[in-house]
Amino acid sequence: MFSNLVLMLPVSLLYLLTGDLLAGEIPKPHLWILIAGVFVVLGLIYLTAFFQYRATFFATYKESAVRRVTLAEKLRKLPLSFFGKKDLSDLTSTLMADCAALESAFSHWVPEFFGAMISTVLVAVGMLFFDWRLALAALWVLPVALAIVGFSKRVQNAFSRRQSEAKMALADGIQECLETARDLRANNAEGAYLKGLDRKIRAVETRAVRSELGMAVFVVSAGLLLKLGIATVALAGSILLVQGTLEVLPFFLYLMAVSRLYDPMNASLQNLAAILSTQINVDRMREIEECPVQQGSTAFSPKGYDICFDRVGFSYGGGETVLKEVSFTARQGQVTALIGPSGGGKSTAARLAARFWDVDRGKITLGGQDVSGVDPETLLSAYSIVFQDVTLFNNTVMENIRIGRQGATDEEVLEAAREARCDEFVRKLPQGYDTMIGENGSALSGGERQRISIARALLKDAPVILLDEATASLDAENETQIQEAISRLVRNKTVLIIAHRLRTVEGADRLIFLKDGRVAEQGTPAELKEKGGYYARMLALQKQSRSWQLGKDEA
């Protein structure tokens, strides 16, 4: 606002200079006033520009950082059901692109728009006091131009939404192409896939052009209307001059004033259109901010660590039911194995035990305390978890293991690594435990990544251990060694193992056979084998598959 008002001061100096020139001479005092005024105006322009920059850009950058951190913190507390509806590229776009759009809005468009509006109102009030007739001739175009741009909001939102959808489709396509490059090349499918990606790129380009065109139609029309204000001032002033009710100098002043008055307003029309176009970005961020978080008490004092499922029912996002009336108990000091065919609900049950989701029906207790009433972070402090899909970070081996317990000493980390049989392959790395392993452990094999994940869980040494196909990527020798390491952790702890290979759970204390989301049978391995049910049949099938040989034709 002050910057725009200061830019009106040269008009005042020109008014004084023109008055003296029309009078025939410039008095010496007036000359010095004009010269001093030029330097004063230049200084004020510099100062207002400087403080405007500090007040808008610096503050906006800080706010943008706060916004990103706030969104990230909210994501950290959201249930995993939310991430089932969103993909990685979508969330990344919200945290980066949408926040950047608001950063531009608050650093460029919003301050300039409101500054221009306030300064224009102040100048308009002065013009009305000076000569209301010329003021009306100059100002009538302003509300009309603003209304034209304001009415474009619905159209702009429609264009912005389609453009955002095209960008998301392209981002998904690029990410999928990078993640599946090996499979595409192996199946000679690169050409066909890239053609589809080209179509998505062209779709983004087309949507961008249409969005800009849709905005330009309203902004340019409103800007052209503003120029009519100069014509109406010239016309009205000419009529008043002919009638003898207006002098030449005030007429000249108004012509100069309106030419300066419309500059910030013309920019404001573009800024208003740009502000309106950010509604989609705001809605996407608001979707995250308004999503309910999992809450619970941080006061967690369980009586032991038995995990009890009591008539649990669950479905993902209200879709097909995954678990139906599931009841079983995984006791402390025992190894409880969840087995059964794929899609039976084994992994879902394990994740529900750690409250990655909340159950739809029934309840799950840990040590007699309902997990749905415990703060998720507090609850997870009691769990050491190893999933089949290992997540590692672009850091050293040492720090990747230390994630299990941040305050662990180097010796404790090394001990956990030795127990998980990591020491043998880590010693062969260029810098040993200080070797950077790349994004998600790209420098390691699948089995090596999984052993680091197991070492992380061993280091945490929590009272409850969840192992979801934790040894799936290991060879028979290493699997046996890892099982020996895990067995040392069982004492006084609750261990819940998910496995497809039944030899992995032969030593389990109790088996829970899940089929079609229900507990089909449960008991000790010996009991279920003798029973001759689902477990016995699966055991026989796996034994039969081990005897299969490549190239054998049983016919």
For residues 502 and 434, membership in a common domain is answered with: no
For residues 431 and 533, membership in a common domain is answered with: no
Question: Which is it for the CA torsion 343, 345, 351, 352, positive or negative?
Answer: positive
For residues 316 and 359, membership in a common domain is answered with: yes
What letter would DSSP give residue 24? T
For residues 54 and 82, membership in a common domain is answered with: yes
CATH at 109: 1.20.1560.10
- Whether residue 156 is contained in a domain is answered as yes
Instruction: Report d(CA 477, CA 484) in Å as an integer.
Output: 11
> For residues 149 and 218, is the Cβ–Cβ distance under 8 A?
yes
What does 375-426 look like in DSSP terms, one character per residue? -HHHHHTTEEEE-SS----SSBHHHHHHTT-TT--HHHHHHHHHHTT-HHHH
Q: How many domains does the chain have?
A: 3
What does 247-297 look like in DSSP terms, one character per residue? -HHHHHHHHHHHHHHHHHHHHHHHHHHHHHHTHHHHHHHHHHHTSPPP--B
- Token representation of residue 187: 């199946």
CA 21 to chain centre: 63
Domain span at 247? 2-289
Q: Given this model, what pLDDT does residue 328 score? A: 92
Instruction: Report d(CA 28, CA 523) in Å as an integer.
Output: 109
Q: E strands of 10-137, at which residues?
A: none
Q: Given this model, what pLDDT does residue 555 score? A: 45
- Neighbouring residues of 421: CB distance < 8 A, sequence distance ≥ 6: 451, 478, 481, 482, 485
- Whether residue 297 is contained in a domain is answered as no
For residues 373 and 398, membership in a common domain is answered with: no
Percent of residues in the chain assigned helix, strand, coil, to nearest 5 = 65, 10, 25
For residues 401 and 276, membership in a common domain is answered with: no
Q: What angle do CA 356, 289, 208 make, to 5 degrees?
A: 115
- Whether residue 387 is contained in a domain is answered as no
For residues 367 and 407, membership in a common domain is answered with: no
- Whether residue 85 is contained in a domain is answered as yes
- Whether residue 310 is contained in a domain is answered as yes
Instruction: Report d(CA 533, CA 61) in Å as an integer.
Output: 64
- Whether residue 295 is contained in a domain is answered as no
CATH at 369: 3.40.50.300
- Whether residue 484 is contained in a domain is answered as no
Q: Given this model, what pLDDT does residue 179 score? A: 77
Per-residue pLDDT of the chain (555 residues; tens, 9 = 90+): 777 778 777 777 777 777 777 777 777 787 888 888 888 888 888 888 888 777 777 778 888 888 888 888 888 888 776 776 677 777 887 888 888 888 888 877 888 888 778 877 887 888 888 888 888 888 888 888 888 888 887 887 788 888 888 888 888 888 888 878 888 888 888 888 888 889 999 998 998 888 888 888 888 888 888 888 888 888 888 888 888 887 877 777 777 777 777 777 777 787 888 888 788 888 888 888 888 888 888 888 888 889 999 999 998 866 678 899 999 999 988 888 898 888 888 888 988 998 888 888 999 999 889 998 898 888 888 998 887 777 888 889 899 999 888 888 999 999 888 888 888 888 888 888 898 888 777 778 777 888 888 888 888 888 998 888 766 656 666 666 666 666 665 667 888 888 777 777 777 888 999 988 898 899 888 888 888 888 888 878 877 766 666 655 544
Strands 307-315 and 361-366: antiparallel
Domain boundary among 224, 254, 289: 289
Strands 369-370 and 361-366: antiparallel
For residues 375 and 241, membership in a common domain is answered with: no
Ramachandran bin of 362, using left for φ above 0, alpha for ψ from -120 to 50, beta for the remaining angles: left
- Whether residue 299 is contained in a domain is answered as no
What are φ and ψ of residue 336, in 5° steps? Answer: -110, 125
For residues 374 and 396, membership in a common domain is answered with: no
Q: Which residue type is seen at 347?
A: S
CA 186 to chain centre: 33
Domain boundary among 238, 262, 289: 289
For residues 400 and 377, membership in a common domain is answered with: no
For residues 17 and 153, membership in a common domain is answered with: yes
pTM of the model: 0.66
- Neighbouring residues of 466: CB distance < 8 A, sequence distance ≥ 6: 350, 353, 354, 383, 384, 385, 386, 496, 498
For residues 345 and 409, membership in a common domain is answered with: no
